Structure 1
Amino acid sequence: MLTAVNTFDIDQVRSYFPLLNQQVYDRPLVYFDNAATTHKPISVIRSAQHFYERDNANIYRGMHALSARVTTALEHTRLAVQKFLHAPEVENIIFTSGATESINLIAATYGEMEIGAGDEVLISEMEHHANLVPWQLLCKRKKAILKVIPMDDRGQLDLTHLDRWITARTKIVAVSYVSNTLGTIHPIKTIIDNAHAKGALVVIDGAQAVAHLPIDVTALDCDFFVFSAHKMYGLTGLGFLYGKKKWLEAMPPYQTGGGMVKQVTLTDTIYLDPPYKFEPGTPPLAAIISFAEALKFMASIGYPKMAAHEEILLCYAMAGLTHMPAVQLVGSATERIGIISFNLTNMHHLDVGLLLDAKGIAVRTGHCCTQPLMHRLGIEGVVRVSFALYNTIEEIDLFLEALQQIIHKAT
């Protein structure tokens, strides 16, 4: 049996995640839906619990000890995210409710400000709906043109004619770092450099990348980078927007309210500088404060060890699936993270998901919020398996055995 050697103590890692120690339908839980959301280590859970038990107060506004503690903790997380992304300044980091809101913020501010009739926004055929629909709506409002980088049959972006897709009229290029459906790692540095050569800004959806790949926004030179905390062992309801300072300063507020204003009269308002200009109201304080623990947890293991472990899981699972004639793998990119999409011959993907769930195995089924990708491939949906650092070879064995049983009963 293949084991994840020279990586880390998997039993110890799993012990940090209390949710994994349970049974579903009298079977041990096998959680392979990590691209949807990851589980939370006990350090993150305890940090959120500590906030509500000891520090619960609002930020900035209160001249008392609890408020001061929470404000300090919140800004500590902002600094930790800056360092995680290798951003130039802490002011580059904006708290949002998730990657989805971050993209909508950019479209509703910079997009509204800069896109005009006849201008172009370029996305890819593989985008999550969150990085597609906001640009659709923007282009319809502004009478602009939405253009699409095509994908090839292997599930990779076809950049052969990238110079044709990016023109002098292209104002924004918005692409994902990693496909949430196929796991494909896109050559975003090539896209960024080509876009900048034509004067276009680049938005990178990093939601599926951050738990698997080290991120350096300065080296990438992207204009915006977005991701969600819950995809990388943090709590739900929290996202991040990195933006170059010059764009954040030029952009108007996205929403208004308390906390983002410097001075208000009955006739006018002066706004705070970024990042606070984009953070009205009370943010998800427990999620923000505890996210520092998620970053600390990942740093304690390190991307090289996580990547080595997940590569072993990916190769092992792919080898097992390849030997099943009834399995139709979807996507065969050479550069990918631990995501596998497939279908079974003569069985609907939703039925496969239900049958696996009955055996305690959690997978994703459906179009995975990438309907244009499904249309390109001529399918309605897939069964998606996605790995995280706490998954094991033994879990894959359980999955492969269960899948073989499903195939056998269907024949």
Structure 2
Amino acid sequence: MRPAGAAFVSMAPVAFDAYPSGAFHRPVRCSTMIETSFVVAALALFAAILFTRIGRSETWRAMVAPLASIIGSGFLVSAPLLGRELGGGAIFGIAGLCAFAWAIGGAVRYNILHVEPLLEQAVPPRNIAVLERLSAFILFFAYVISVAYYLALLGAFAMKALTGTADPVLAKAIATALLALIGWLGWSGGIRKVIRVESGVVVLKLAIIGGFLVTLAVYAGGLLWDGAPVSPPEPRGSWGSVPVLLGMLIMVQGFETSRFLGEEFGREMRVRTMRYAQLAATAIYVAFFALLSPLMNAAVEGAGETAVMDAALLVSPLLPLALTFGAVASQFSAAVADAIGGAGLAHGATRRLNGHQVYPVLVFVSALVLWETDIYGVIALASRAFALYYMLQAAIAALATVKAGGPVGAVAWRVLLALTCAAVAIFGIPAE
């Protein structure tokens, strides 16, 4: 029973009318407490990271790249996609994806510690060197596809913010224009200027996500106070959901970026901070799915890849605007980062094309992927490409373990991991 005289702004679910398309009217009222909690939490987290010893520490600097890559675009599209496929069981789906990513990360961490020294030898082991070079080619194409993925989402979020609707053609047009901009920046050498602001953009994105989680917690607390239900929809799913789940690997991808920070950080630091990044990302994802439970139906019934915006609108008009701002900034930043990574990989693998010459090729292929598939197809295609890269990394780890005389169990585990990644590449399908 509520104590007498207690003042509390009611946060019970607001009534809404559903359009035939599944979009929702803007709620007629919102809670000042909710909006205040978002602003205070986001600003506090932003200041705590950027203006304290945390943001200046070597551990944070080594951790921020993999963490930002994992908690990227997938954060906003993960709940609607998994919710449509698994209902209330979506939280177990994201936990399973994170566990799978942790296992793959173990192979990558092993390669940082034990394979990198082998590759630095005057004459590295031939089989390992060949697989490593092949994995670099695969990762280049994975980055090309992920650039299309990031910009497709950016276009969708921008269209949602500007027009209130999801127009896939105009969203792709926006993404194509940004692709052309990235290609020109890469060709002219100006892209490095863009990447300099990435650290601030990453902190901003994490602050907005942190504020969003606090806001969802306050909203759920208000529902509990009012005696309203906060449970998620009924779990569902079948064996047919497994290939769809496999096709979502890209949502928890990004930890492998620690592998390419060798010029700045030592091996032990990269291994340790990759673990921190994956554990933090898992905690954020699981907390997000748990706190989104009262809004899961709204997210599932929302419009396409921007469905979380529809659900957030039921809490406060401020949230979709903040999420859109953070998403657009981080999507473009991530696209630029992956374009630079892809160009560097192509230059290192071919030793013919210089960095400037790679960008037009990268942009052309990304544009083809963008226009020939929808966002769900791009997600599945990118997941396949990264799964092939992880398959090769697991195979390299298995070979290195054999060469080092490691235990048979470790070799068998890495072979099984490589086969599982191959299954993702073969059987992963779009979540349409």
TM-score range, shorter chain: under 0.3
Higher RCO (C-alpha 8 Å, min separation 6): 2
Could you tell me the TM-score, scaled by structure 2's length?
Answer: 0.25
Which has the larger helix fraction?
2
Which has the larger strand fraction?
1
